[in-house]
Amino acid sequence: MLSQTSNLLVTVGFVVAERVLYIPSVGSVLITVYGIQLLWRHYGGAKRLLVVVVAALVAAGVARTHLRNREWRTRETLLRADLSVLPHNAKLHYNFANFLKDIEQQESAIRHYKEALRLWPSYASAHNNLGTLVMESGRAEHHFLQALKYNRDHINAHYNLAKLYRKKNRVCDSLKMLERCISLEPRFVQAYLELLLLTDEDDKRPILDKLVELEPNNWEHYLLYGNWYKGRDLLPLSLEYYMTAMRLSFTSKSQSSERGKILSMRAACLALRSAGQRARVLQLLTSGVTSTCLHHSQLEVSHDAYTSRLKDNDIVNANSRTFYTTPDRELDEVMKIDKNSCQKSIKKCVSISAQYKPTHNKSETGHKQKSCPLHKKKKIKEPNTFSPFVSEHLIKTY
């Protein structure tokens, strides 16, 4: 079906999603078909000419639709094609600038944002997005304020201005922007994370509760909560949140889940070590490494090799239910272990720099040899608690 915005007959002077006009175009198609039927009945002598005209219109529509489909191949080809048709449309320059920013062509993006503002000076979103690109020139605050001037409820402009004020140590102004931002969008998680950086330690608990309420499956919030409890010397509560963060990071399929496994496991191990529970530290590390290896399928077993060796060489004692397997040198052929990938995964998922101190439990020390590395005493300074996971990037508007 030929789109209404293909500019075949009349140039469309505004930007509109073509999919919005698919259903309304059905009416125009029905009217066209009905008109052809009327012409066919009243002008029977000119049927051949009518067929030629209809065929030409259909061919033109098919050709134009084919060209338009080629323009829809990528986001860039579509935007460039639209700009060639409507070079004086501010919305198109704005959309193309967003694309250029996404592919990190900042200079070209700035140029198209400025062109959009030249064509439409009160374009609030263009002011906001341009402000995110001119931080180094010192013009960011001006564009954020211009965005709020033309749109007082622009959430991203409030948020970006709050981040800018925090970096300039203008705490009161930053708090004011964040409060306004949260009043406009009570579920804006990034605003709460930014507010967490400006709040005193004694007043952070309500914000942490709100973060957990808004995103109960986000491991980062539980890790922040655990750090807050640890800073107040409440190790049992902090460990509870660390374990929850680790569980969520292992079950999550997001890109940040690997980072969550490392941070949450490390925090839990340090909390257990501070509490003197060395055995639980070792147990936690062992289970974490095993889960990681199984998750990444790094222990590969050759099924055919195993079954063939089992039939030829394995002797089953039915009474004791004990398996006498092949020699060790033959087991090397059966079990294929990717040592390099497994070691790499262990280093990636469990990067704990602190060594274990000797346990205070005498019943455990009696079973350890003197050469055990767990008994080596090293004084290692624990790192500071992690800061909230607030993105340093400003937020643009699409």
Say how many residues make up the chain. 398
pTM over 0.85: no
Q: In b/e form, how buried is each residue of 175-192, taking b as 16+ CB within 10 angstroms? A: bebbebbbeeeeebebbb
Q: Domain limits at 350? A: 299-356
Domain-located, residue 349: yes
pLDDT digits (tens, 9 = 90+) for 263-304: 999 999 999 998 888 898 898 888 877 776 665 554 444 445
pLDDT digits (tens, 9 = 90+) for 354-372: 333 333 433 333 344 444 4
Which residues pair with residue 185 across a beta bridge? none
Residue by residue, DSSP assigns 43-104 as -GGGHHHHHHHHHHHHHHHHHHHHHHHHHTSSHHHHHHHHHHH-TT-HHHHHHHHHHHHHTT
Q: Please, which contacts does 66-75 make with residues 24 or more away whose CB atoms are closer than 8 Å?
A: 68/3, 68/6, 75/99
Domain-located, residue 335: yes
For residue 389, the model assigns a pLDDT of 55
Which position has the token pair 């008994």?
375
| Residue 386 DSSP code | P
323: three-class secondary structure by DSSP? strand
Number of domains in the chain: 2
Residue type, 275: A
For residue 393, the model assigns a pLDDT of 61
Copy the structure tokens of residue 112: 């198209």
Q: What are the angstrom distances between the C-alpha of 263 and each of 192, 371, 388? A: 21, 30, 12
| Nearest by Cα to 226 from 278, 284, 271, 285 | 271
Domain-located, residue 56: yes
Domain-located, residue 330: yes
Cβ distance 396 to 156 under 8 Å?
yes
Residue 336 belongs to what H/E stretch? strand 335-337
Q: Which residues of the chain have pLDDT under 70?
A: 1-17, 292-393, 398
CA atoms of 178 and 136, how far apart (whole Å): 23
Domain-located, residue 283: no
For residue 268, the model assigns a pLDDT of 92
For residue 295, the model assigns a pLDDT of 59
Copy the structure tokens of residue 137: 């020139």
| Residue 254 DSSP code | S
Among 72, 105, 134, where does a domain finish?
72
Domain-located, residue 210: no
